[in-house]
A and B are shown apart, each in its own frame.
Chain A
Amino acid sequence: MARYAMVIDLDRCTGCRACMMACKVENNTPQANFWMYVFRFEEGHYPNTHIWFMPRPCMHCDNPPCAKVCPVGARYKRVDGLVATDWDRCIGCRYCEVACPYGVNYFNWKKPSKNYYLDWQAKDVQEVTGGAVPPYRNPDLDQPYGAERRRTAGGGRLKGVIEKCTFCVHRVERGQKPACVQNCPLFALHFGDLDDPNSTVSQLLRRKPSFRLLEELGTEPRVYYVGGHPPSSESHQIEEVRVRV
């Protein structure tokens, strides 16, 4: 069994947020949900200013606080390392959202079909889309995944459930990389098997010093950063996305 991890090379990230877009379209996440988020940071004072960028997906922790607090087993750790959410089971208590120190959980406050940016009900749009909402609805997301065959892929399911980054379980199980990784124009994102010494992630972690976010909490994230430093109180966020909910 693979031990999946993501390695993010901050030396290569230009903060373009193409990963955020790739995630949104691939996973059909509703408005204001960013399973992948790219921080743009400014540090220091003019003219000794430093600007850098940090993508932040779900950390898919080996010791996931979100799974521990889930009262119904909807949030669980898979043997390959993915932290999954079974939206059939989720009761919307939002304990996971509180427990997670990384802020990666998104609660569907609205009926997702009414929360896809525009009204897709127009007759002439429906004629083309067959009524799909959003019109780019990805059919792969409807399949069950994992040995346990649970419905854990994609977003925009029900009002009142929690959704978050799945590491693109529907792609990974087909032997592909998560959408953000596949699309990164600067090849700053890498995904693979830590147990395979020849995987890009293993090679990168051997070659460059790495860190994980909030490592001191003992969450054991499966997302590693190379080529930079963790954000601190000196890191001032700029160009933040201000969502319209």
Chain B
Amino acid sequence: MRIKRRTFLKGSATAGGGLLASHFLSRQLETLVAQQSGSSPKEDWIPTTCWIGKQDCGMVARRIDGRVVNFYGHPDHPRNRGTLCPKGVAQIMALYDPNRVKTPLIRTNEKGIPGQWRQASWDEALTIVAQKIREVRERDPRLLVWQKGRSKAKPFYDEAFVKASGATKLTHGAFCSDAAYRASEYTIGLSGGLHPDFRYTQFVLAWGWNLTAAGGNRLCWITWPQQLIQAKERGMKLVAIDPRLRGAGHFADEWLPIRPATDLALALALCQQLIARDTIDRAYLSQYTNAPFLVGEDGFFLRHHGKELVWDMASNAPRPYDAPGIVPALEGEYLVDGRSAKPAFQLFREHVAQYTPEWAAEICGVPAEAIERLAQELGENARIGSTIVIDGIEVPYRPVAIMTYHVAQQELGFQAVRAMLLIMMLLGAIGAAGGQRIDLGPWKLHENFEKLDKIQIKDPPYNIYLKDSPYFPINSNSSAIVAKVMQNPDKYGVDYIPEVIIIHMCNPLAAFASTPDLFEGYKKFKFVVVIDAWLSTTADLFADVVLPAAVLEKYEGPAAASDQYLDATALRLPVMEPLFQSRGEIEIYLDLCEKAGILYGPGGYLDQVNKALHLSDEHRLPLDRKPTVREIFDRWAKSAGISEGVAYFEKYGVKVAGPIPPKKFYGYVTDPPFGGVRHRLYGESLLRYQRDMQQRGVDTSYWRDYTPFPTWRKPTMEESPPTYDLYLISYKLIEHKQSRSAQIPLLAELAPRAWLDINPRTARERGIQDGDEVWVESHNALTGETRRVRIVARYREGIRPDTVAIPHHFGEAVRHPWAAANGAAANSLFFTGEGYVANTSDQSFHVKVRVYK
């Protein structure tokens, strides 16, 4: 195949910046292909998609006589533009790793200890699994659970299996950043954390953004740093708000080392300051948010015929919020039918008045002057009232934004991110040019904007993750909570314990927090199937059957390929035949469903695949014949209007539809603006849930954060005794991805084992030298339980003296010579349940610890 530089790249604005363009225009891969060596080996190039990372970067595999010798970044892929991160390059070793699971395995020893196995044929293994599925489905479909790690590409085959089998689905987001997703969905109606419109932004708060080392909202690494550096080179300022400097590195113009878990306090103080300085966008607040809605003394909106009322300053009377020609009041107190009511904004102003910079300084460990200056800079840079013209469209211009993501996973995470969004709402920066973005691609309203507002808390029994329960009305589906429930279902109003779980490319016992709880919970499953390429800790301890998955030798997709400005799609294509006896996942599900009797006919797997891929009538899979995986993608491509079908991707790898026009991109100028909704400054339904939860008698800890405005309280961990004098936080490394990579030797060589970041001052006080082994002991403030690990301490000047940090990825997540003895797992120190989950069931990655030799 011959990679061609596609002409659409010329139109891409991201090609701005001479150096980047020149790198691009060098057409390196093209040259490389053109000048392939004249020697006899057959050389070819297969475009595909990275398997290891989250953002599905485009790659091209160079093959010699069918053997892959290298992966290069796909030059036309918008997300990585001809480059790969260290993981992307190193995954070549994962491909050939002789320590992969080579055949289906069946356990021969007891569970809960490292497994002993016998090899089995696919037929035998799938027959056993299918029988179990049949058996439990006949008794009660709730007994079947299906769990997957972060979905690679569009989760259509996942969805199809879950729907066809009736399984309860467990996800991973409660250990990732789902608290931010819920906050954004609820407040703005878009699904995601927070990121800037890098093309135009001038001032960014990197709020816990691990920009040099891993993350960023929606994408994993390459795209954001590329866009950030271009923005920096045209003068954007970056303020890092983070207990550790390492993530921001030298890209931070200013570092505010905030005390862990106090982000909400800082955000509220910034809101207070913006209002006090009157740098607020009243036009936006009046027109596009519920800030003018009148709130009665009971905390609920005043309504007339179901419509929320505002105070119209023109007629000096209450009017429906959408009545034409009105001038809604944001401030004041009004009498409506003899009862007092205030606009939500007035209430917010009163609510945040207490949150002064001096107050926050005490809590956050950030000087009050710095908070005031930050608010001033936010206000000035927001240029409230200004507009710019983009592609002929006039768009409000508010070049300030926040990048925040994993930091959402804290006890007050949902409200902390809500408060960050409120900062951006006060500035009118949501959906503005240079302003706050949430989802990738077009401004698209998420169904959860309505759903999270209209939750009906039900009477028991509940399902295993407590959906629609008074514990977590907004619910991010946490496996640690499932583990708690599995240990004591009665306590939570759950009347069953599921028996069979299929765990697909997920390693909850290593990758999720509160390992001891997960161990006890997963022990309760009677039959565990793991689909994985390596023998994960979860498989090793609990699997009855392990099914070997291929890594890059399979079809998967379709994968979004947008860098946020270009609309693009790609596929993962097999770079060679599956190694050993491994198989691609879709193939596994086709065979498994056939054996379980849920493949064919209406409602079967094939039918569900048709639905999940939204295949047009003429391209639907027939429901009586098992297709090849390639055929599925061929039908999808044709149904999506790509007449060449999957062959297009086999040739080019990525389909770039083109730039997303401003009218689809910027919330202010979509039709209707912001999808026609009012952003929720005031969370009326949160109050409704709180009242309902109180009535149902659940513990205070569950309902206290269901407040209409984000409200500060001390995190539960602060109740630990003073001997636990340090905060433990965790973070990701650029060399690794969750528990997916610790066994890849090239990466394990770069980052071989866990360590503890500790400020030298803190260390010396405890007689700890750089490189000493120490104990880190965590404490549960509510139960008194302690957990400890042994780990090497490393001096770091870039961390708060009251904070220590451990990178994830380690703790022998898989049984592998290169993962052996690689140190402690941060996840085994965190707790779950009351005090250590957010009100949305999102896991907290904060705990108080003591460190000693």
Interface residues of chain A, those whose CB is within 8 Å of chain B, are 11-12, 14-18, 20-22, 24-26, 31-32, 42-47, 49-53, 117-120, 122, 124-125, 128-130, 132, 134-140, 143, 174-177, 182-187, 190, 200, 203-204, 236, 238-239, 241-244
Contacts and interface: CB of A to CB of B under 8 A. Distances in A.
Nearest to B553: A128
A22 B89 contact: yes
Contacts of B80: 185
B90 A139 contact: no
A91 B255 CA distance: 52
B96 A129 contact: yes
Contacts of A143: 37, 39
A18 B71 CA distance: 12
B818 A117 contact: yes
Given A45-B797, A128-B96, A129-B67, A17 B749 contact: no
Given A26-B70, A53-B249, A184 B83 contact: yes
A117 B93 contact: yes
B610 to A, nearest CB: 35
A183 B83 contact: yes
A135 to B, nearest CB: 4
A16 B734 contact: yes
A137 B69 CA distance: 6
18 contacts: A11-B229, A14-B225, A16-B212, A16-B221, A18-B85, A51-B798, A53-B212, A117-B93, A129-B67, A135-B96, A136-B69, A136-B92, A174-B35, A176-B32, A182-B83, A236-B797, A238-B794, A241-B749
Given A51-B246, A122-B98, A125-B96, A187 B84 contact: no
Given A122-B98, A139-B39, A187-B20, A15 B70 contact: no
Contact of A49 (B64, B579, B798): B798
B735 interface: yes
Contacts of A42: 796-798
Interface string B239-273: 00000011001110001010000000000000000
B70 A136 contact: yes
A53 B85 CA distance: 16
Nearest to A242: B752
B245 A51 contact: yes
Nearest to A173: B35
B69 A46 contact: no
Contact of B98 (A45, A120, A184, A185): A120
A66 B400 CA distance: 52
B576 interface: yes
B249 A185 contact: no
B797 A136 contact: no
Contact of B86 (A20, A176, A244): A20
Among A46, A125, A186, which residue has the most Cβ atoms of chain B within 10 A? A46
A18 B798 contact: no
A45 B749 CA distance: 29
Nearest to A123: B98
A125 B800 CA distance: 48
Contacts of B225: 14, 185-186
A138 B70 contact: yes
Contacts of B204: none
Given A176-B28, A183-B83, A140 B37 contact: yes
Nearest to A140: B37
Given A18-B84, A239-B751, A244-B749, A186 B226 contact: yes
Contacts of A21: 84, 86, 89-90, 746-747, 750
B82 A25 contact: no
Interface in B24-61: 26, 28, 31-32, 35, 37, 39, 41
A176 B18 CA distance: 19
Nearest to A243: B749
Contacts of A52: 249-250
B737 to A, nearest CB: 13
A243 B70 CA distance: 23
